[in-house]
Structure 1
């Protein structure tokens, strides 16, 4: 699976597309220097590959952030938490899923995965100081009941999970999902955050909020 690199003003972001449904896991470092402090966002699969990348980059992972608890975003949480010793931050309303992953895999042929008891929960509105970065937690339900996104204002970076994609949006045919709630979450992001915000989604390519406002066909209801 592909891995990519993006440079923000002072932060190094590495994207690792992992697993059978091509989920994007992000390693976010305060700089590209060896030994730099880092966050890991949504480690969904391929823990050995992620561990090798962390070792190769000499990154010091200090926190693991989860946008939501669908299996493709949390399948590698347990091995990565154990390897790095980093605490896990998870949406409070979905903490029970991480604690019992295999009971919530909706289709056969995936897993088994190892469950994990998260050290911290978030609901939206928190301001986290982690790995040298200031991260605001934004509640963005709709794709899943307690979905959150992580906003690094100083870097104009949004880790959107499965709320907003390049040219698409999160599906709403899964348990606890709701189309109108999803649209409201996206509308709030578009209204509140700068258009030049870089969106790092849970699947597909990196984009910006302005690009999606102007070109995303699923947002026509918001444009009206």
Structure 2
């Protein structure tokens, strides 16, 4: 198994959403994960700076702060996109978050018309799928609650596993369930069975904020305690 040795990440757009470029070497094939609002230019700069070759775009869920630039990245580099079918419709109509259209328009000076803007090739992922891309093997873990189609992407390098969590779990917090498509009961099941089911040494790379580990969140995240799991 090829290990991840290169990860470039940066917060993009008004929601400061983490976009990740992940590769088995500091040059060559890479994966682009969650290119959101305003992410395209930085993705292009990092690709050029590090001699990377995007092989595909992985989306953790369908909120526009995670997928806004997906079609541009796919079209520019001629690559496919992966998303869970429950969130696929948001590739062309992601403005179901209250105030999102106005927020993007204010931040960028325009708000894109997403009609017919789905990437040319979209693959629908399911729980347990294994995707081989850029020389890496990625496992899909369906993790509904924040949205119906939220997923985690687990990459198993040589030292310890990495999991890209999107907006399911953060350092010290968890994803909102009060937005359209949110489901508190589903989120509680996801946190109990999927997140807390991961090995303690798993590195969590979330959609917002800094990285953490399962052991750290198990010990310190108030939403992952027995009481916290019943508080929302």
TM-score, with length taken from structure 1: 0.89
Q: Name the residue aligned to 1:4.
A: none
TM-superposition CA deviations, 1:12-66 (whole Å, max 9, x none): 111111000110000001111x3x2100110002211221111111111101000
Pairing partner for 2:171 from 158, 166, 169: 166
Matching of residue 15 in structure 1 with residue 9 in structure 2:
yes
1:139/1:203 CA distance change after superposition, 3 Å: same
Structure 2 equivalent of residue 151 of structure 1: 154
Q: CA deviation at 1:223?
A: 7.8
Equivalent residue number for residue 192 of structure 1: 197
CA contact (8 A) 1:187 1:222 kept: no
Alignment pair present for 1:28 and 2:28: no
Runs of 4+ with >4 A deviation = none
Residue 216 of structure 2 corresponds to 211
Compare relative contact order (CA 8 Å, sep 6+) and give the higher one, 1 or 2: 2
Partner of 2:186: 181
Q: Which consecutive unaligned segments of at least 5 residues does structure 1 have?
A: 1-7
Residues 37 and 61 of structure 1 are in contact (CA less than 8 Å); yes or no, is this contact kept in structure 2? yes
Hey, what does 2:108 align to over in structure 1? none
Deviation at 1:180, TM superposition (A): 2.2
The aligned counterpart of 1:3 is none
Identify unmatched segments of 5+ residues in structure 2: 106-110
Could you tell me how far apart the structure 2 residues matched to 1:120 and 1:194 are?
A: 28
Alignment partner of 1:141: what SS?
Answer: coil
| 1:7-156 matched pairs, under 5 angstroms | 10-32=4-26, 34=27, 36-46=28-38, 47-101=40-94, 103-107=95-99, 108-111=102-105, 112-113=111-112, 114=114, 115-117=117-119, 118-154=121-157, 155-156=160-161
Number of residue pairs the alignment of both structures matches: 214
CA deviation after TM superposition for structure 1 residue 119, in Å: 1.8
| CA offsets 1:86-118 (integer angstroms, 9 cap, x no match) | 1000111111110233x4353122142343245
